Amino acid sequence: MLIKSKPDILPSEITPESVYHDRRRFIAGSLSAAFGVASVGLPGLASAADGDGLRAQAPTDLVRSAPAPWWEDKFASIAPAVKTGGFSTSEPLTPYRDVISYNNFYEFGTDKGDPIANSKQFKVDPWSVAIEGEVEKPGVYTLEDILKPHALEERVYRLRCVERWSMVIPWVGFSLADLIKRFQPTSKAKYVEFFTLLDPETMPGQRSRFTTISWPYREGLRMDEAMNPLTLLAVGVYGNYLPPQNGAPIRLIVPWKYGFKSIKSIVKIRFTETQPDTSWNMLAANEYGFYANVNPEVHHPRWRQDMETRLPQTLFSSSRIDTQPFNGYGEQVASLYKGMDLSKNY
């Protein structure tokens, strides 16, 4: 992975930085976008005193229509992070425009601006997820079936890329653990393996002659990592549906690990007895391990890992901050690695 210190924002794609709106206004905006109604005359901006507090949201003209009609109901029920407790950080959010325009999604190209530029035709409806391997209820499930029983909630997490930049992002989703329980893994299920869509037609990175990754992109977690309540399946960001460049329609978020573990656009989840291969580990095992826990004491062979740049970076602030063990989530997850040598199991 390359290191760049400044986001490549495409000015043509981005509106001026948005004000933060109330979630209700946001949902009204997305409904009107879905039905092609101009979003004038909607309730005004929220005040801090308003109910569940200020809700961040996407600039109205970037609000996308729902991938399918049933998404509207799903998103109307988002439970705010403030009510669901201990998982969210109160650090300032990385602005929406940075979250959706500075991306790693090699299926759409390797530059940070490639995913937003090259994913416009990406189709997320219909979408299904295959559940395979050591599990009592394998099958191919439609996305609607996957999401149906789960209440969505917002979680504001730090995302720390191995390239040394980080963001604070309000995801919308639900605990992976709740999904896993539904499919009843067998006693042999020690790991969970995830696969991204393979579709060279719509993913130009997959047909590039210069690609180094063997597609589809794959990732994996140990079962106890997958069952940790922090581990999230995200279907939205900033109260809105995930844009393609952020891994629509469903992606993993593992906030205490380097960003490459947080695999996008998932089409298959497999339960296995042995440790699965992962894309970056297959490519450069000495640089990217299976665990990939954020660790300021274990450096990448080509750069240190004890600092990071919190995006967005401005002319006036360098936004350099210390990297925290487990990306600041040690209290929740350090016990998972008790007794392990983390310099070997990087």
Classify the C-alpha dihedral 101-260-301-333 as positive or negative: positive
Query: d(Cα 345, Cα 287) in Å, to the nearest integer?
Result: 12
Q: Which of 289, 287, 301, 233 is nearest to 262 (CA)?
A: 233
Binding-site string for ligand MTE from residue 214 to residue 233, where x marks contact by CB under 6 A and - marks none: ---x----------------
Q: Establish if 161 lies at the interface with Mo ion (CB under 5 A).
A: yes
Binding-site string for Mo ion from residue 80 to residue 99, where x marks contact by CB under 5 A and - marks none: --------------------
Among residues 57, 104, 231, 281, which is the contact residue for Mo ion, using CB under 5 A? Answer: 104
Q: Report, in Å, the least distance between residue 160 CB and ligand MTE.
A: 8
Among residues 259, 265, 271, 292, which is the contact residue for Mo ion, using CB under 5 A? Answer: 259
Secondary structure E strands in 197-296: 218-222, 232-237, 240-241, 251-253, 266-272
Residue closer to ligand MTE (CB basis): 31 or 58: 58
Among residues 106, 238, 260, 288, which is the contact residue for Mo ion, using CB under 5 A? Answer: 260
Nearby residues of 154 by Cβ (< 8 Å), 6 or more positions away: 78, 79, 80, 81, 84, 88, 170, 171, 172, 239
H or E, element range at 142: strand 139-142
Q: Establish if 245 lies at the interface with Mo ion (CB under 5 A).
A: no
If contact means CB under 5 to 8 A according to the sort of partner, which of Mo ion, ligand MTE, none does residue 107 touch? ligand MTE
Nearby residues of 209 by Cβ (< 8 Å), 6 or more positions away: none
Task: Tell the burial category of 50 from Cβ atoms under 10 Å away from its Cβ (0-12, 13-18, 19+).
Answer: middle
Among residues 32, 60, 166, 196, which is the contact residue for ligand MTE, using CB under 6 A? Answer: 196
Subset of residues 252 to 281 that bind ligand MTE, contact rule: CB under 6 A: 259-260, 262-265
Q: Establish if 246 lies at the interface with ligand MTE (CB under 6 A).
A: yes
Q: Which residues bind ligand MTE (CB under 6 A)?
A: 103-107, 159, 161, 196, 217, 246-247, 259-260, 262-265
